[in-house]
């Protein structure tokens, strides 16, 4: 089973591109912290999202904002100067916005509802 679940902060502004096929794709880096204080380590992951997921990330989130990504590991392989290169990335299938981009959220007229104790199932 190939499932990845990460919570972190967007490291660079997502870049939304429209392909000639009509599909949308965005890519960005995600910083995920592990541990705390002197044992804290930050891991960086390359994230790719497609279609409506890509458009939502670009519209509602941005650099420094916290998000949860669910997806799968994928690997790009290519030849460069006779050498085989590899790049591992995460292809997002689901995103939860833990912080919203204020400048874009208010312009859309969307304000997330506050979470109350009644929303928590336990």
Are the C-beta atoms of 16 and 23 separated by less than 8 Å?
no
Q: Is 113 left (phi over 0), alpha (psi -120 to 50) or beta?
A: beta
pTM of the full structure: 0.76
The CATH number that applies at residue 12 is 2.40.50.140
Number of domains in the chain: 1
Decide if 59 is inside a domain.
yes
Residue 114 lies in a domain: no
Give residue 23's domain range. Answer: 4-108
121 part of a folded domain: no
Residue (of 28, 108, 25) closest to 67 by Cα position: 28
What pLDDT is attached to residue 102? 65
The per-residue pLDDT for range 64-90, each reduced to its tens digit, is 999 999 999 999 999 999 999 999 999
Instruction: Give the whole-angstrom CA distance, residue 56 versus residue 49.
Output: 10
- Among residues of the chain, what percentage have pLDDT more than 70? 82
In a domain, 68, yes or no: yes
Identify whether 82 is part of a domain.
yes
Check pLDDT > 70 for residue 113. Answer: no
């Amino acid at each position: 089973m190939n499932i990845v679940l990460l919570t972190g902060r967007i490291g660079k502004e997502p870049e939304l591109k429209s392909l000639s096929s009509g599909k949308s794709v965005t890519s960005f880096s995600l910083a995920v912290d592990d541990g705390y204080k002197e044992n804290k380590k930050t891991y960086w992951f390359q994230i790719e999202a497609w279609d409506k997921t890509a458009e939502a990330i670009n519209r509602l989130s941005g650099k420094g904002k916290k998000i949860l990504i669910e997806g799968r590991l994928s690997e790009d392989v290519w030849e460069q100067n006779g050498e085989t290169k590899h790049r591992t990335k995460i292809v997002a299938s689901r995103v939860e916005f833990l912080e919203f981009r204020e400048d874009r959220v208010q312009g859309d007229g969307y304000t997330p509802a506050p979470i109350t104790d009644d929303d928590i199932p336990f």
